[in-house]
Chain A
Amino acid sequence: MIRRSARPLVLPAVIVLVAFLTAACGIPDESGVTVVGSGPSPGITSGTGRDPGQISRDTATDRVTFVENYLKVAAGDLDSAADRMRTFMTDDAKHRFDPKGANLTVIRLTATPLWNQGSDEVRLSYEQVGTLDKFGLLEPAAEARPVTSVIKVVQTAGKSGYFVAEAPSALLINADVLRNYYQEHTIYFWNTDYTGLVPDVRYMPDTVPVEQRPTAVMNWLVNGPAPWLSVAQLADGTTLIGKVPEISNNKLVITMSTLGLPSTDTALALSRLRQQLQWSLRSFLSGDTALVLRFGHQDAGSYSGDDYYASNQASRLTTDPDSFVVYEGRIRRLSESANATAQPPVLVPEQNKDIRLAAMSSSPAENYAAVVTRSGKSADVLRVAAAVKDAQAPLQAISGLSGTLGTPTWAIIDPGKPGGAVGLITANGKLYSFAPEKSRAQPMPWTGPGTTISAVAVAPDGRRLVLVVDNKLYRVSLSMNGDSPALGTPQLLRPAGLESVTAVSFSSEGWLLVGGVRSSDNRTTIADVSIDGALQNPRVNDLGDKPVESLTAYPANPLWPNQTSGDISCSYQGAAWEVLAAPRQIGVDRLAGQPSQAPGSLVPTAPFYLQ
């Protein structure tokens, strides 16, 4: 009775409560827009539109200039290169234009474009230097036959300027464009032994905004090294996450996928990676700017300072190298050079005799010396010595060599290890390697064209060689196959206008010093040639009509603003010459130490540097 009478009163209350509870609480289905706060403040733009490479069609007043401009217009962003070239074309040509290959074809004009009055055709004579891909890598052309091509340049009614009506279906750029619309940018990879970084020169288009350049560099690194180099790639699976943001708070933050960091020896791998990146991104890391590496969402470390320099052996190069010549069969210092009053390093003074050619190299661990001696009428003997800094060691003979020996050279394979160097020498047109101790020289098989190897030069990193083979210039990588060195696949380089190459040396990480005979007038010349052979600057225009016997340069330190060496010597006509703006023979008066008693006909020969 009580329950029954209570229910009608309670029931509505409960229903109301249930409705109230279910309706009034919980997360609503829809809500209005709630303003939480003001957004982050916008950034500041780095400037108005940057498009330095944009060459407009109608600036040319004659057909030759127009064609020269046409050979520049593809420079810059590769994806839109064809479109830029099409802006120079008639509507017909635009539709026909379908360039083969995704890369720019870098050519070198062998003559100025020729145009006959009244004609629509401009005749081009050129040779292909190589191809430039979107990773800034210039791959030298495998073959170099002269090409003659015709570009039909017309005028269209109602429109000013000229139009290309017919042209080779390729993304052509003149090699000079690399100088004006690109910047050299060296990236680095570890050699296969992880003992030092090996430079890999790339070309950065000027059209890439400054903000995007670190990203571009990172993409190059991730893409891998140039094919001719024998170096270690980044760890498998290394990818860049997103872009590399602009430097803020003095930090350049690079985010990579976690796969880029191996699970074992993480610290070592990280240390290698950051040094590689610090070198590759060095131009962006000026001042206090720190490199911050992140893997996924984890900060791996922040790196600043210059402790990374040591990973590149070229960074040890000084401004004032120890210079030597051979005089009276003895190694003598030059008076202006560093340590002029000291004894030549490594050699025991008593053994400093009968020397014809010599090479010395230093690493943090040891100094190495290789000398070619000849006493009387006996054959050349190669002797080597290795000693720690300021110590001396007796010379030891290297057997297995015969005939006329070329100038030896050292490749520092492992700067931190005693004995971590490999010597190279040409003998009877063959290349041999030798250890810095008493041993037998090992012939190094040559896989490229040609038979007679006449000169060899080693890059400061010790892993790249340039060779003169049958008076042609080749670049090749050097790698260590266990203890024995091995050559990679050689690539032919074609310095412009040189009929034959006789001597070569590295003048910096990315540039060579090449001595040869000019094809146009058979005069001997010395020029700076980029490591890919595309760019060339004359150093000595005319040395004479005899070939340069050898060239030796003390390479420029990549940390210096000036990227070419100022310390260059050569052997020419049996004498030592210093190559300045004008070549100057090194006379006896410049020898350090006691004046010589030798007859006046003797001159210093075989100049070299303690590299």
Chain B
Amino acid sequence: MVAHRLERHTAPVRRSWRRSLQVRVVTLTLIASSLLVGTFGWFIAWRSADILLNRAQDEISASLQRKVLWASQQLTVHPQAYDPELPATINETVNELYDGDQAGDSGTVVSIRAEQYPEIAPQTVSAFDASDLITMQMIHQVADNARVARQIRTIDVNGHQTKYLVYGSPVPSKFGHLELYYAVPLTTEDRAANQIRTTVLVTGLALVVLLGVVAGLVTRLVVNPVRVAARTAQRLSAGLLDQRMKVDGEDDLALLAAAFNQMAANLQRQIVRLEEMSRLQRRFTSDVSHELRTPLTTVRMAADLIFSEREDFDPAVARSAELLQAELDRFEGLLTDLLEISRFDAGFAALDSEHTDLVPIVERVAERLTGLAERVGVELELHLPEGPVIAEVDPRRVERVLRNLVGNAVEHGEARPVQITMATDDAAVAITVRDHGIGLKAGEERLVFNRFWRADPSRARQTGGTGLGLSISAEDARLHGGWLEAWGAPGEGAQFRLTLPIRAGDRLVAAPLPLIPRDRTAEVS
């Protein structure tokens, strides 16, 4: 739920990320520069604090050495720890060391302790209670291990938390050693470190923001021409071939624009040329077909006359007249098909859709081909729905397709029955034509729709087909937004399926009938 909400909220962001190069560049620049500036800033602040602290340590250490020297010199007058004058000397020494330090009233603390001589009371001089300043660990290192040690402590001084650098050193004397502790407030160093840190932080943030703005501006400089190029390319692809980019200056983007413009010009020229050639070819086919029809009509009239008078001729001539008549029919059919094809090619084919019941059309086609079927011993079996199947189709073209398919099936039926099945659902209607002839070899399912393709060129034409029937049928099906597909297997016959949308313009998703016939499926299984 949360993930979903998050996804919904971040959707615009992710869309921007995906779509905008500028967003990506600015974001990456901000992240990278934040990391870089942060690292450098941290380094500078850290080093500054380190340097300040080191300087303070050096100063205090040097001061401590002087103090230890002084104190140890003062203590040379006491050969024994039980010297009654010793506490007075310690007191004087502490005060002297403290007084020597009070130029700036800096709040230092000087303490001399004698951990190994409990009878000698610790002496501390400071402007406040500094008992918390010296830790047990410190005392242990200095008193027990006789080491010079330092420690940073923060204590409450008059209501202010104050950092102190505490140094401790053993003070040698003739009878052993005492311990001198010297604590100096790090107020100045701390303030300086904080100021440096704040400055670095503010500068770093300003730098990051500035870098982001700069990255945005620079990216805009680059992205804008790219966007213009993209828009121009979109217009070009939409067919506005005279769209060009504006070429400004001599930089890389100007080069891109110039190259783009040149590419567009070349494309435009090629496309215009190809269109022209295509147009000329179609015109040629159309023109040839039209030009042939006129003499053909004349030849036809003459041939009809001869054919009608054939009985008066010599049987051989009569036979020729019959042949002439038949070939003229075929020629006319071919010419018709060519004209039809050229109409498809020229894009002049128009669908004349109307709500039509497909059942009568199927029955009509079957009826018309019954004669041919009987001649070759093929039985046509119809499997049609009970009620009417109404679809928004061009009935003339559907009938032509079915005629072609059934004719083919009869022709290749090998005297076996041909089943014509129709089924429908909400969206589509499908009609399959199944034969049990020689079938199709693998890969021939697509080749059958090529113009003038034959499975076996040596095979004698029985129906006198032009070789364009299936091509035209495929174009008709496509014109409807439907499918025309073939299935076949050697020795198992073939099946063609025509699928059409119920409503013109709808997109087909599935067919109500399978392409591979059910009897075949049964066999396989």
Contacts and interface: CB of A to CB of B under 8 A. Distances in A.
A43 B173 CA distance: 5
B23 interface: yes
Contacts of B177: 39, 42
B289 interface: no
Given A13-B34, A50-B79, A248-B76, A38 B152 contact: no
Contact of B77 (A26, A77, A209): A209
Given A25-B45, A26-B45, A211-B76, A20 B38 contact: yes
B137 interface: yes
A369 interface: no
Contacts of A50: 79
A33 B294 CA distance: 118
Given A42-B173, A45-B79, A13 B12 contact: no
25 contacts: A5-B23, A9-B27, A10-B31, A13-B30, A21-B41, A21-B200, A21-B201, A24-B42, A26-B45, A26-B194, A27-B49, A33-B138, A35-B145, A39-B146, A40-B170, A42-B174, A44-B174, A45-B174, A50-B79, A77-B84, A211-B76, A211-B174, A242-B74, A242-B96, A245-B73
Given A5-B23, A13-B31, A33 B141 contact: yes
A10 B27 contact: yes
Given A17-B38, A39-B177, 7 more contacts: A5-B23, A27-B193, A33-B150, A43-B173, A50-B79, A212-B77, A248-B76
Nearest to A247: B76
A269 B46 CA distance: 54
A79 B84 contact: yes
B72 interface: yes
Contacts of B80: 45, 48-49, 209
A411 to B, nearest CB: 39
Contact of B150 (A34, A209, A243): A34
Contacts of B508: none
A18 interface: yes
A211 B74 CA distance: 10
Interface residues of A, number: 57
A588 B150 CA distance: 85
Contacts of A79: 84
Contacts of B391: none
A27 B150 contact: no
Interface in B164-191: 167, 169-177, 186, 189-190
B290 to A, nearest CB: 61
Given A26-B45, A34-B151, A40 B77 contact: no
Interface stretch (B85-93, B251-259, B380-388): B85-93
B148 interface: yes
Given A6-B212, A21-B197, A46-B79, A39 B20 contact: no
A14 interface: yes
A212 to B, nearest CB: 4
Nearest to B93: A242
A55 to B, nearest CB: 18
Given A34-B150, A245-B73, A5 B61 contact: no
Given A35-B149, A40-B68, A79-B84, A2 B154 contact: no
A33 B84 contact: no
A10 B23 CA distance: 12
A245 B22 CA distance: 78
A24 B96 CA distance: 39
A245 B76 contact: yes
A36 interface: yes
A-B CB proximity, top 6 nearest: A245-B73, A39-B170, A246-B76, A25-B45, A42-B172, A17-B38
A36 B41 CA distance: 30
A31 to B, nearest CB: 4
B148 A26 contact: no
A37 B64 CA distance: 13
A417 to B, nearest CB: 42
Contacts of A29: 152, 154, 161, 163
A117 interface: no
Nearest to A244: B77
Given A21-B45, A30-B153, A33-B151, A39 B172 contact: yes
B366 interface: no
A8 B17 CA distance: 12
B30 A10 contact: yes
Given A35-B149, A42-B177, A17 B77 contact: no
Nearest to B96: A242
A31 B212 contact: no
A47 interface: yes
A80 interface: yes
A37 B146 CA distance: 9
Contacts of B151: 31-34
Interface in A102-123: none
B34 A10 contact: yes
B204 to A, nearest CB: 8
A323 to B, nearest CB: 46
Contacts of A46: 79, 174
A159 interface: no
B52 interface: yes
B147 A35 contact: yes
B400 interface: no
A522 interface: no
B100 interface: yes
A319 B176 CA distance: 48
B148 A38 contact: yes
B372 interface: no
B79 A47 contact: yes
A9 B20 contact: no
Nearest to B170: A39
